[in-house]
Amino acid sequence: MNDELQAKLRALRLPRLAEHWDDDLQAAARQRMSHATLLTHVVDEEYRLKGDRSRQERLRRARLPEPWTMETFPFDRQPKLNRKAIFALYDTLDFLTKAQNIVWLGRTGCGKTGLASSFLVGAIQRGASGRYVLFADLVAELYQAVALHAQEQVLKKYQRWDLLLIDEIGYVEVEPAQVGLFFTLMQQRHRQKSTLLTSNLGFSEWSSFLKNDHLTAALIDRLTEASHVFNMKECVSLRGKLSADA
């Protein structure tokens, strides 16, 4: 391939073809490909590469601290976990198309973050957009948004993701303005987008950090309507098996 043709291919954003031009021609000659077969092969490979890059970019934007996968989760260490129900949701992604939430409740170290992150990674790999955020970071951003009069911008940012993972709910107390904005965000996503949530506290304990019984009840009602809740309070600690889980 001459330099001019290589430059044109890169300008057309066909890096794989520019890199493998000679390889493709040699393979076509060996296998006696028709022109149509060769062109189909080239298009298929460029499409595959573009899809791979798109998935990697979506994973980068998700800001996951660690890309957990369902294949690496130690289900054998959690015999009380309803593995069948979890895989039914994970394999079909029905919860995503139906805009349903999934909530994991349980003590620190039982695998909530690992499972929720695996769902987020799986959805992203199959074409969805997603974002991970710690609850403490989310409410801090909401608090700052109030001071900057930028509530709408922040809410729109978190509303646009197909799947939002809010991790470690309950580790920080929340100011009234933050509670209101958090409720607004969940209300906006209600029946439109899916949210994954993990908490070390049961729903009956949420008023202890939200400090507003009325909004707490309304929030839990929105989160649990047509949702899937996995109570992991009886599950064992996986510290040492999952190095970054809550």
Prediction pTM value: 0.80
Q: Are residues 74 and 43 in the same domain?
A: no
**How far apart (Å, rounded) are the C-alpha atoms in residues 147 and 158?**
18
Instruction: Report the domain count for the chain.
Output: 2
Q: Are residues 130 and 214 in the same domain?
A: yes
**How far apart (Å, rounded) are the C-alpha atoms in residues 133 and 179?**
16
Q: Are residues 143 and 195 in the same domain?
A: yes
Q: What is the pLDDT along the chain (246 residues), one digit of tens a residue?
A: 778 888 888 887 887 888 888 888 888 889 988 988 888 888 888 777 777 888 889 999 999 998 788 988 888 888 888 899 999 999 999 999 999 999 999 988 889 999 999 999 999 999 999 999 999 999 999 989 988 999 999 999 999 999 999 999 998 888 888 889 999 999 999 989 999 999 999 999 999 999 889 999 999 998 888 899 998 876 766 665 544 443
Structure tokens at 84: 């069948």
Structure tokens at 7: 């430059």
Q: Does residue 222 belong to any structural domain of this protein?
A: yes
State which residues form the domain around 35.
3-57
Q: Does residue 17 belong to any structural domain of this protein?
A: yes
Q: Does residue 236 belong to any structural domain of this protein?
A: no
Q: Are residues 51 and 153 in the same domain?
A: no
Order the strands of the 163-169 sheet from edge to edge: 130-134, 163-169, 194-199, 102-105, 228-231
Contact 191, 185 (CB under 8 A): no
> Collapsing DSSP states into helix, strand and coil, what is residue 137?
helix
Structure tokens at 183: 């409720």
Q: Are residues 144 and 194 in the same domain?
A: yes
Q: Does residue 224 belong to any structural domain of this protein?
A: yes
Place of tokens 């909004």: 215
